[in-house]
Amino acid sequence: MQIKITGSGSYIPSLRVTNEDFSKHEFLNEDGTNFKASNEVIARKFVEITGIQERRYATADMNNSDMAFIASKKAIKNAKIDPETLDYIIFAHNYGDIKHNTIQSDTVPSLASRVKQKLAIKNPKCVAYDILFGCPGWIEATIQATAFIKAGMAKKCLVIGSETLSRVVDIHDRDSMIYSDGAGATIIEATLDNGGILATESATFAIDEANYLYFGESFNKNLDPHVRYIKMYGRKIYEFALTNVPLAMKDCLDKSGVSINQIKKILIHQANEKMDEAIVSRFYKLYDQEMPENIMPMSIHKLGNSSVATVPTLFDLLTNGEIENQSIQKGDYLIFASVGAGMNINAFVYQY
Alpha helices in the chain (DSSP H): 39-50, 64-79, 111-118, 137-150, 234-256, 273-285, 300-303, 310-319
Note whether 307 and 300 are within 8 A (CB): no
Note whether 308 and 93 are within 8 A (CB): yes
Crossing angle of helices 64-79 and 310-319, in 10° steps, is 40
Q: What is the DSSP letter of 53?
A: S
How far, in Å, CA of 272 to CA of 45, rounded? Answer: 13
Q: Which of 69, 338, 299, 67 is nearest to 203 (CA)?
A: 338
Using the predicted structure, report yes or no on whether residue 332 has a pLDDT greater than 90: yes
Q: Which pLDDT tens digit goes with each residue over 84-100?
A: 999 999 999 999 999 99
Please tell me the predicted confidence (pLDDT) of residue 38. Answer: 84
Indicate if 184 and 207 belong to the same structural domain.
no
| Confidence at 45, pLDDT banded by 50, 70, 90 | confident
Indicate if 17 and 81 belong to the same structural domain.
yes
DSSP string, 249-285: HHHHHHHHT--GGGEEEEEE--S-HHHHHHHHHHHHH
Over range 98-124, report the average pLDDT: 95
Indicate if 156 and 303 belong to the same structural domain.
no
| Domain C-terminal end among 192, 226, 258 | 192
Task: Return left, alpha or beta for 339; rule: phi > 0 is left, psi -120 to 50 is alpha, else beta.
Answer: beta
| Domain C-terminal end among 152, 167, 192 | 192
Indicate which CATH number applies to the domain containing 129: 3.40.47.10
- Half-sphere exposure of residue 63: CA atoms within 13 angstroms, side-chain side: 17
Indicate if 88 and 230 belong to the same structural domain.
no
Q: If you compute the radius of gyration of the chain from its CA atoms, what whole number of angstroms results?
A: 20
Indicate if 215 and 290 belong to the same structural domain.
yes
Q: What is the DSSP letter of 307?
A: G
Q: Which pLDDT tens digit goes with each residue over 156-186?
A: 999 999 999 999 999 999 999 999 999 999 9
Indicate if 96 and 14 belong to the same structural domain.
yes
Q: Which of 30-44, 88-102, 313-327 has the lowest mean pLDDT?
A: 30-44
Using the predicted structure, report yes or no on whether residue 142 has a pLDDT greater than 90: yes
Indicate if 210 and 292 belong to the same structural domain.
yes
| Confidence at 138, pLDDT banded by 50, 70, 90 | very high
Task: Go through the chain and tell me how many residues it has.
Answer: 352
Indicate if 62 and 155 belong to the same structural domain.
yes
Q: Which amino acid is at 136?
A: P
Overall number of domains in the chain: 2
Q: Cα(first)–Cα(last) distance of the chain, in Å?
A: 15
Q: Which of 209, 185, 201 is nearest to 116 (CA)?
A: 185
Structural domain boundaries, residue 157: 2-192
| Confidence at 131, pLDDT banded by 50, 70, 90 | very high
Single pTM value for the model: 0.95
Note whether 83 and 185 are within 8 A (CB): no
3-state SS, 172-222, equals: CCHHHHCECEEEEEEEEEEECCCCEEEEEEEEECCCCCCCCEEEECCCCCC
Please tell me the predicted confidence (pLDDT) of residue 302. Answer: 95
- Half-sphere exposure of residue 341: CA atoms within 13 angstroms, side-chain side: 19
Task: Tell me the C-alpha to C-alpha distance, in Å, between residue 161 and each of 102, 196, 210, 286, 291.
Answer: 22, 19, 21, 30, 28
Indicate if 172 and 278 belong to the same structural domain.
no
Indicate if 26 and 156 belong to the same structural domain.
yes
Indicate if 175 and 313 belong to the same structural domain.
no
- Half-sphere exposure of residue 317: CA atoms within 13 angstroms, side-chain side: 23
Using the predicted structure, report yes or no on whether residue 1 has a pLDDT greater than 90: no
How far, in Å, CA of 346 to CA of 340, rounded? Answer: 9
| Confidence at 31, pLDDT banded by 50, 70, 90 | confident
| Whether the bond into 13 is cis, omega within 30 of 0 | no
Taken in order 289, 292, 296, 298, is the CA torsion positive or negative?
Answer: positive
| Domain C-terminal end among 143, 170, 192 | 192
How far, in Å, CA of 324 to CA of 318, rounded? Answer: 9
Indicate if 208 and 300 belong to the same structural domain.
yes
User: What percentage of the chain carries pLDDT values higher than 90?
Assistant: 88
Neighbours of 26 (CB within 10 A): 11
